[in-house]
C-alpha cells in the first residue's frame, strides 16, 4: 500500500512528510471530499526515544497534535473525525505507561472539553469505557452530554477500543434481539447489524490515516473500514500537523473509489 512520500532524517528516523512532493489535486478529475476521516495515531514512543525522552513526553506531545488535527479538520470542512487513542490491546503495556496514559486522558478531559464545546465539536467515545476509573467514566459521559447539540465537527475518540470485541458485542446484541422477539434472523441485514455496532450513528470512514510508517489496522474499525481508502504516513504522530492532514485529504481526493463496480 502506498506511502505518499517521506523524508528520512540523518539518524534514520523518518519524521516528516515532504508535502512538496504531493502533486496538487486537480478537481476537474472529479475526486470527492472525505466526509469521515479516521486516524491511527502512532509513533509517540519512537518520537520520545529519538530525543532521549521518556515515552510520556511523546504521549504529551501527541495530545498537542490531536489539538492541531481537530483544528485542521474543522478548517478543511471535514464533518466526522475519529481518532484511535488507546486500543483494547494497549492494556498489555507496562503499568507505568498505563498510569501515564490514563493520567493524560484525565487531564485532557478536564482541560480540553470546554474549548471543544466552544468550537462546535460534538464528542463521542467508543470502546470499553468500563475499564477506566469511575471518575474518567463520569467525565466521558459528561463530555458527550455537554457537546450533544454541537454540529460543526463530530469527533469520536476510540478508547480501549478493539474492533473484534465490538463485532462480538454486536453479535451478542443481535442474538438477544432475536431471543426477545424484536428481530427475525432473516432480517439481520448488513445495515441492521451495523446498527448494533458502537458506531451505529456514524458514517463509515472514507479515509483512514496511520502515522509512524506502520501499515496495519491494529484492530481498528474492521467492519467500518470495508471500503475505506488508506494513507500511511512516515511521520511520527507528535509531528503530525495540518500540512500532513491536508496532504492526506488531497491524496484521498485523487483516488478513484469503485466499491466493486467498474470504472467509467
Ligand atoms: C501511539 O504511540 C499511542 C498509543 C498507542 C497509546 P505508541 O505509544 O504506540 O508509540 P510507538 O509506536 O511505540 O512509537
Ligand atoms: C495502535 O497502535 C493503537 C493506537 C494508535 C491507539 P499500537 O502501537 O498499539 O499498534 P501496534 O501494536 O504497533 O500494532
Ligand atoms: Mg505504536
Please check whether residue 143 lies inside any domain of the structure: yes
Q: Is residue 249 part of a domain?
A: no
- Those residues whose C-beta lies under 8 Å from the C-beta of residue 195, and which sit 6 or more positions away, are none
Ligand 1 pocket check for 43: Cβ under 6 Å: yes
At residue 26, the pLDDT reads 42
Domain presence at residue 254: no
Secondary structure of residue 127 in the 3-state scheme = coil
CA distance 48 to 55: 5
Mean pLDDT of the chain: 90
Percentage of the chain beyond pLDDT 70 is 88
88 Cβ below 6 A of ligand 1 = no
pLDDT for position 263: 76
> In the annotation, is 90 catalytic?
yes
pLDDT of residue 218: 98
Say which range, 6-15, 213-222, 234-243, has the weakest mean pLDDT. Answer: 6-15
Asked if residue 187 belongs to a domain, the reply is yes
Determine, yes or no, domain membership for 8.
no
Q: Provide the number of structural domains found in the chain.
A: 1
Check whether 71 has a pLDDT greater than 60. Answer: yes
Note whether residue 86 is domain-resident.
yes
Q: What is the pLDDT of residue 149?
A: 98
Q: Which of 42, 89, 101 to mutate to test the pocket of ligand 1 (most atoms within 8 A of CB)?
A: 42
Point out the ligand nearest to the CA of residue 82. 2
Element (H, E) at 242: helix 242-254
pLDDT tens sequence across 200-228: 999 999 999 999 999 999 999 999 999 99
Between vectors from CA 230 to CA 56 and to CA 168, what angle results, nearest 5°?
75
Kindly state if the Cβ of 44 falls inside 6 Å of ligand 1: yes
Q: pLDDT at residue 193 above 90?
A: yes
**Rounded-to-integer distance, Cα 82 and Cα 94, Å:** 26
C-alpha cell at 93: 503495556
- Determine whether 180 is an active site residue: no
pLDDT the model gives residue 32: 83
For 138-164, the pLDDT digits (tens) are: 999 999 999 999 999 999 999 999 999
Where is 210: in which H helix or E strand? strand 207-210
Q: How confident is the model at residue 264 (pLDDT cuts 50, 70, 90)?
A: low
pTM of this prediction? 0.90
In this prediction, residue 177 carries a pLDDT of 98
Q: What does the radius of gyration of the chain's CA atoms come to, in whole angstroms?
A: 19
pLDDT of residue 3: 41
**211-233 burial, b if ≥16 CB within 10 A, otherwise e?**
bbbeeebebbbebbbeebbbbbb
Q: Residue 176 domain-assigned? A: yes
Nearest residue (CA) to ligand 1, atom 1? 42
Q: Which domain holds residue 182?
A: 36-227
Closest CA to 218 of 227, 206, 210: 210
Residue 178: is its pLDDT beyond 90? yes
**Which CATH number goes with the domain that contains 181?**
3.40.1180.10
> What's the pLDDT at 262?
83
Q: Please tell me the residue having the least CA distance from ligand 2 atom 11.
A: 218
Confidence (pLDDT) at 127:
98
Amino acid at each position: 500500500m502506498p506511502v505518499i512520500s517521506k523524508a528520512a532524517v540523518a539518524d534514520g528516523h523518518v519524521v516528516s512528510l515532504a508535502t512538496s512532493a504531493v502533486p496538487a489535486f486537480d478537481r476537474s478529475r472529479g475526486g470527492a471530499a472525505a466526509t469521515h476521516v479516521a486516524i491511527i495515531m502512532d509513533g509517540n514512543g519512537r518520537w520520545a526515544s529519538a530525543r532521549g525522552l521518556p515515552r510520556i513526553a511523546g504521549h504529551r506531545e501527541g495530545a498537542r497534535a490531536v489539538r492541531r488535527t481537530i483544528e485542521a479538520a474543522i478548517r478543511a470542512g471535514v464533518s466526522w473525525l475519529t481518532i484511535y487513542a488507546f486500543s483494547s490491546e494497549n492494556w498489555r503495556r507496562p503499568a507505568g505507561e498505563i498510569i501515564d496514559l490514563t493520567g493524560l486522558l484525565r487531564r485532557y478531559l478536564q482541560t480540553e472539553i470546554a474549548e471543544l464545546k466552544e468550537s462546535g465539536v460534538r464528542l463521542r467515545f467508543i470502546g470499553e469505557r468500563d475499564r477506566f476509573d469511575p471518575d474518567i467514566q463520569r467525565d466521558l459521559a459528561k463530555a458527550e452530554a455537554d457537546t450533544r447539540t454541537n454540529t460543526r465537527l463530530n469527533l469520536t475518540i476510540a478508547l480501549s477500543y478493539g474492533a473484534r470485541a465490538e463485532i462480538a458485542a454486536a453479535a451478542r446484541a443481535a442474538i438477544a434481539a432475536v431471543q426477545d422477539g424484536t428481530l427475525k434472523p432473516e432480517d439481520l441485514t448488513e445495515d441492521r447489524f451495523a446498527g448494533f455496532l458502537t458506531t451505529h450513528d456514524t458514517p463509515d470512514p472514507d479515509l483512514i490515516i496511520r502515522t509512524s510508517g506502520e501499515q496495519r489496522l491494529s484492530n481498528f474499525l474492521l467492519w467500518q473500514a470495508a471500503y475505506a481508502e488508506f494513507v500511511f504516513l512516515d511521520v511520527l504522530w507528535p509531528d503530525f500537523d495540518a500540512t500532513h492532514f491536508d496532504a492526506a485529504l488531497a491524496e484521498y481526493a485523487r483516488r478513484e473509489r469503485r466499491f466493486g463496480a467498474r470504472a467509467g
